[in-house]
Amino acid sequence: RSWIDEELENCMVEWDEAKGMANKSDCTTDWQTYRKLRNHVTKITLMIFLSLARLANVSMTCQQQTLILHIQV
């Protein structure tokens, strides 16, 4: 996956570790951390997808564009 840069990969590793910790501890704070990291990785991924789609001149529906444009990293 050449589109995954070092920052995103580090976030994904951190997210995976947070999930393991949350499963192990079942602590509310750990689950909140996991969800925060999951949402952050999802937002970054969608922003990369949008950038790549624009570079490749891929057409998207207005609904898809609106969804992606409202995401703030």
In contact, 49 and 68? CB cutoff 8 Å? yes
Stated pTM of the model: 0.70
3-state helix, strand, coil in the chain (%, to 5): 75, 0, 25
Q: 56: which DSSP letter?
A: T
Give the three-state DSSP class for 62: helix
Cα–Cα distance, 12 to 37 (Å, whole number)? 8
pLDDT tens for the chain, 73 residues long, are 666 788 888 999 999 999 999 999 999 999 999 999 999 998 888 888 777 777 776 666 776 666 666 655 4
